[in-house]
Amino acid sequence: MTSLQLPGRLQQSLEDTKVEYRQLGKSGLRVSVPILGCMGFGDSQAIPWALDEDKGLNTWDTANSYSNGASERIIGKALKQFGIPREKVVILTKCNFAVGETPEEQQFAFYSEFDRSKDYQNQFGLSRIAIFNQVEASLKRLGTTYIDLLQIHRYDSSVPIEETLKALHDLVQSGKVRYIGASSMWATQFARLQFCAEQNGWTKFVSMQDQYNLLYREEELDIKIIGRVEELAKKHEWPMAHIALAWINKRVTSPIIGCSSLRRLDEAIGSNGKRLDSDEEQYLEELYQPRPIWGHI
């Protein structure tokens, strides 16, 4: 039996692919490892070095509130500017926080004023109407007809969870959202949401995005760990980032990385396939002591 010759285009595609892919949680959605974090996208200069890199980094994480909507607009502009087929990328965005109508209007700085303003009623939070309004606005900024993964940015205790979950379920049923996820909440809150969705036959969350990495577990950083990261990096002749990414890649589906330059992006992609042995992992972890966490904003 003769083996088939690999088609030239497929061979080139494999050579151009510098990352690996994994299924997100228990879902069938496949995401790149790592995921590109777009929180820092606030002007169009972010596009050329970050999104026009055809290296397989096809999963982008943003939120409606990042740079007051500018991050989503930049992604939408990139899709159009570079002629990127929508089905070739995975877009993750979030809802809950308001998007200011001017750059100076930041909800984090003026929360009570947003709550009282006529211009921001039903524009934030996790009520049914607010979720629908936020999704429609995100779709417009992204210039697309659907969101691959919609994440609730925080837990909203002011709204019945049944209302929130039914709204998310209806968005999935409508096709405007493919999957749903959550971000930054207590485990008990997340469990309560999942249980309610399951009991009612509604769409369940496939992911939880939280701050978690080798140096920042439970919101604590131990400077001594950095010394050990540096030590192992010298041993392997790797950048320090590859040590941290090798550790996290074994523990989560895909880390979300924020990059300030093309060099940093290439460095992160270059960690693909790198592994630490069990002794090295223990060496990195043994200094860490869990501490009380101060909460989520």
Does one domain contain both 178 and 61? Answer: yes
Is 216 noted as a catalytic residue in this protein?
no
> Is residue 270 assigned to a domain?
no
pLDDT at 167 over 50: yes
| Eight-class DSSP state of 7 | P
In this predicted model, what pLDDT tens digit does every residue of 30-48 receive, in sequence order?
A: 999 999 988 888 765 656 5
Q: What is the pLDDT of residue 119?
A: 97
Tell me the chain's radius of gyration from C-alpha atoms: 20
Taking the CB of residue 208, how many other CB atoms lie within 10 A of it?
Answer: 17
Residue of 21, 66, 111, 146 marked active site: 66
Cβ within 8 Å of residue 175, ≥6 positions away: 145, 146
In this predicted model, what pLDDT tens digit does every residue of 247-273 receive, in sequence order?
A: 999 999 999 887 777 888 888 889 999
Does one domain contain both 178 and 107? Answer: yes
- The pTM score is 0.80
Integer Cα distance of 98 and 107 in angstroms: 6
Does one domain contain both 162 and 221? Answer: no
Does one domain contain both 35 and 143? Answer: yes
In this predicted model, what pLDDT tens digit does every residue of 99-120 receive, in sequence order?
A: 999 989 999 999 999 999 999 9
Does one domain contain both 155 and 50? Answer: yes
Does one domain contain both 45 and 171? Answer: yes
Question: DSSP 3-state helix, strand, coil percentages of the chain (rounded to 5)?
Answer: 40, 15, 45
> Is residue 67 assigned to a domain?
yes
Q: In 21-45, which positions are buried (b, 16+ CB within 10 angstroms) versus exposed (e)?
A: beebbebebebbbbbbbbeebeeee
Does one domain contain both 145 and 32? Answer: yes
Does one domain contain both 76 and 162? Answer: yes
Domain of residue 187 covers: 9-210
> Is residue 268 assigned to a domain?
no
Does one domain contain both 91 and 36? Answer: yes
Q: Mean pLDDT, to the nearest integer, of 201-228?
A: 73
Q: Of 153, 181, 210, at which residue does a domain stop?
A: 210
Does one domain contain both 129 and 93? Answer: yes
Number of independent structural domains in the chain: 2
Does one domain contain both 167 and 216? Answer: no
More confident residue, 219 or 15: 15
In this predicted model, what pLDDT tens digit does every residue of 215-251 receive, in sequence order?
A: 555 434 455 787 899 899 999 999 999 999 999 999 9
Does one domain contain both 76 and 173? Answer: yes
> Is residue 269 assigned to a domain?
no
pLDDT at 166 over 50: yes
Q: Of 210, 238, 263, at which residue does a domain stop?
A: 210
> Is residue 295 assigned to a domain?
no
